[in-house]
Chain A
Amino acid sequence: MSQAASSATPAAAASRAVIEARDLNLTFQTNDGPVHALSNVDLDVGKGEFVSFIGPSGCGKTTFLRVIADLEQPSSGAISVNGMTPQEARLARAYGYVFQAAALYPWRTIGGNIRLPLEIMGFSRAEQAARTARVLELVELAGFEKKFPWQLSGGMQQRASIARALAFDADILLMDEPFGALDEIVRDHLNEQLLKLWDETGKTICFVTHSIPEAVYLSTKIVVMSPRPGRITEIIDSPLPRERPLDIRETPEFLDVAHRVREGLRAGHSYD
């Protein structure tokens, strides 16, 4: 279905980029004067890429993700998502969004939470049930459908929120520090699962993180950002293979990429 949608849109077919930002600026007016959250951002995200955004607080990585999702409006510049404006893309339900907090609705069961977007989008009951079962399987939460969120651990809740974002089969997944609040062990496990899921589904993933190892481990492309004004300082294409066992993190290639990211972050900070 998504295949048909993208080929029906000439712009998307022409550029092949799923997300395309040109000279994007966003300024928030605050009481302390204007804050340049995004300054001259240029970026292409190709289909099926896994792109991480890394940088210190205030570098605009979350803001950029929110612009893609049509949750913030840019002040100037152009951005297209699937060849459409972000608003059109949002209305076409082109992406699933995973926030830092799982934000499951406490009065709904895990199954009920995953069904929520499906109910809103008007899927039939049978379709809702089938999709819920499938995504629960995908995030390894089968059997927890009838549980309430408080009965699950933090990591399981976040997996449920990922399942919720996957349920309506958008081909873009926007993830804003989804594992930021979890401990390292759970995080490793979820990173592995996310890679597997990305490999199986072929989705385009934009992933905001604070963690260098996480960014390097997951991404095909790492976007290093810097604050005041929020901007992209470096884009690193990862030479790592698509198949990534956890112990790839001890290989020289991995450490080399991590080193380049760290250098990039340091350079961005140099005239603070």
Chain B
Amino acid sequence: MNRLRASFPVLTVVAAILALWYVAAAGLNLQWERDQAARAKTEVPFATMLANTMAQDRPVLPVPHQVAVEIWETTFEKKITSKRSLVYHGWITLSATMLGFVFGTALGMALAVGIVHNRAMDLSVMPWVIASQTVPILAIAPMIIVVLNAVGLSGLIPKALISTYLSFFPVAVGMVKGFRSPDAIQLDLMRTWSADRGQVFWKLRWPAATPYLFASLKVAVAASLLGAIVGELPTGAVAGLGARLLAGSYYGQTVQIWSALFAAAALAAVLVALVGLAGRITLARRGQAGGV
């Protein structure tokens, strides 16, 4: 009962968005219906035109149920090996995302460890890390793909590297903050026990940084998915959600574009939720409820 009450505001907002969407779709698609009628020199009643705006093949803005039907058909009614299956494309994007996420997390952590333990790195690396993220990824991605292709790397790895490029950043920033989060007394205690650097790291800095890690990983996994999709755009649209988006725009398949967008959004939501869950379980096991 409580759960029902809690979900009421969410459902209200969703309903409002859907209603607004239908109105906007009708408005945007109506012109095409009018043009058709004018071209055929026929008088079509307004109500019929309005109904037709919801069933166009290539609408300016497809209505929600068109997108829902497309997602249903391409997810559950196609074999997952089919080039028209969203599962097939989603899996290709997901594998690049996960690989990039692992690379990015490792790179971000390595940088953070270096920055915290080495004064030269502390002073020199962070500006470059920040500068790297001010370069538009859309500009860099094609170059990475082209350059790696020239050295014989194609397919999964280049896309994963673009994911890495985006996902290492939140991990590096979050972990530097996390590794530095122990307060003076906690560090002094380690010194009174004559702990060496490794012990201070594994017994104090690392566990203290864990909550920061999971907060960073949530951002990183979403960024990683974005990177994989962007990485699929310049490959000539072979496979993946990015390819699905690109092919859709080549051929004016707006329904396909929107369904790929929703698939990507759902995938991101699932990934972020999984990271959040892993964080909650980890922190709960050490008695720190609440989580990230």
Which residues on A are within 8 Å of B, measured CB to CB? 69-71, 90-91, 93, 95-97, 99, 101, 103, 105-109, 116-117, 119-121, 148, 150-151, 168
Query: Given the complex of chains A and B, what is the CA–CA distance between A150 and B287 in angstroms?
Result: 9
User: Shortest CB–CB separation between residue B275 and chain A, in angstroms?
Assistant: 19
Question: Can you list the 7 inter-chain pairs with the closest CB atoms, starting with the nearest?
Answer: A148-B287, A107-B286, A103-B185, A97-B192, A117-B193, A120-B195, A107-B207
Asked whether B52 is an interface residue with its Cβ less than 8 Å from the other chain, the reply is: no
Per the bound structure, the CA–CA distance linking A93 and B191 in Å amounts to 10
Offer 15 A-B interface pairs, CB within 8 angstroms, sorted by A. Answer: A70-B191, A71-B188, A71-B191, A90-B194, A95-B192, A99-B185, A99-B188, A103-B185, A105-B204, A107-B208, A108-B207, A120-B195, A120-B199, A148-B287, A151-B287
Range class of the B interface residue count: 20 to 34
The answer to whether the Cβ of B288 comes within 8 Å of any Cβ in the partner chain is yes
CB-defined contacts of B188 to chain A, threshold 8 Å: 71, 97, 99
- Is B65 part of the binding interface, using a Cβ–Cβ cutoff of 8 Å? no
- Given contact pairs A103-B183, A109-B287, A148-B287, a sample of 17 additional A-B residue pairs in the complex whose CB atoms are under 8 Å apart: A69-B192, A71-B188, A90-B194, A93-B194, A95-B192, A96-B192, A97-B192, A101-B185, A105-B186, A105-B204, A106-B287, A107-B210, A107-B286, A107-B288, A120-B199, A121-B193, A168-B193
Which residues 176-198 of B sit at the A interface, judged by CB distance below 8 A? 183, 185-186, 188-195
Contact among B203, B207, B287 for A120, CB-based, below 8 A: B203
- State the Cβ distance, A125 to closest chain B Cβ, in Å: 16
Chain A residues with Cβ below 8 Å from B210 are 107
Whole-angstrom distance between the Cβ of A163 and the nearest chain B Cβ = 14
Complex CA gap A90/B189 in Å reads: 11
CB-based nearest B residue for A164: B189
Nearest CB to that of A150 among chain B residues?
B287
Are the CB atoms of B288 and A106 closer together than 8 Å? yes
Are A71 and B193 neighbours in the complex by a CB distance under 8 Å? Answer: no
Most buried by B among A93, A96, A101, A116: A116
Nearest-neighbour CB distance to chain A for B187, whole angstroms, equals 10
- Whether A91 lies near B194 (C-beta < 8 A) is yes
Interface of chain B, main secondary structure: helix
Asked if A103 and B189 make an inter-chain contact with CB atoms under 8 angstroms apart, the answer reads yes
A116/B287 in contact, CB under 8 A: no
Contact A97 B286 (CB under 8 A): no
- Which residues of B have CB within 8 Å of A99? 185, 188-189
What CA separation (Å) do A107 and B207 show in the bound complex?
7
Which residues of the other chain, A, contact B203 by a CB distance below 8 angstroms? 116, 119-120
Q: A101-B185, A148-B287 known; A90 and B207 CB under 8 Å?
A: no
How many angstroms from the CA of A113 to the CA of B207 in the assembled complex? Answer: 13
Q: How far is the CA of A258 from the CA of B5 in the complex (A)?
A: 64
- Whether B207 and A105, one on each chain, are in contact in the complex, defined by CB atoms closer than 8 angstroms, is yes
Of B186, B192, B287, which is within 8 A of A90 by CB?
B192
Q: Judging by beta carbons under 8 Å apart, are B286 and A108 in contact?
A: yes
0 or 1 for each of B251-292: is its CB under 8 Å from A? (1 = yes): 000000000000000000000000000000000001110000
Q: Give the complex CA separation of A107 and B185 in angstroms.
A: 16
Q: Closest residue of chain B to A87, judged by CB?
A: B194
A99 to B191, CA, bound (A): 13
B206 to chain A, nearest CB (A): 10
Rounded to whole angstroms, the CA-CA distance of A120 and B196 in the bound complex is 9
B215 CB to nearest A CB, Å? 16
Among A91, A96, A103, A150, chain B packs the most CB atoms within 10 A around the CB of A103
The chain B residue sitting closest to A90, CB to CB, is B194
B227-245: which have CB < 8 Å to A? none
Q: How far is the CA of A150 from the CA of B290 in the complex (A)?
A: 13
Which B residue's beta carbon lies closest to that of A93? B194
Q: How far is the CA of A105 from the CA of B189 in the complex (A)?
A: 11
What is the CA–CA distance of A22 and B134 in the complex, to the nearest angstrom? 58
The residue from B193, B199, B287 contacting A93, defined by CB atoms under 8 A apart? B193
Q: Which residues of B contact A91 (CB under 8 A)?
A: 194
What's the minimum C-beta distance from B290 to chain A, rounded to whole angstroms? Answer: 11
A239, B108: Cα distance in complex, Å: 62
- How far, in angstroms, from A69 to B191 measured CA to CA in the complex? 9
Report the separation of the CA atoms of residues A43 and B210 in the bound assembly, to the nearest whole angstrom. Answer: 44
Name the CB-closest residue of A to B210: A107
For residue A69, which residue of chain B has the nearest CB?
A: B192
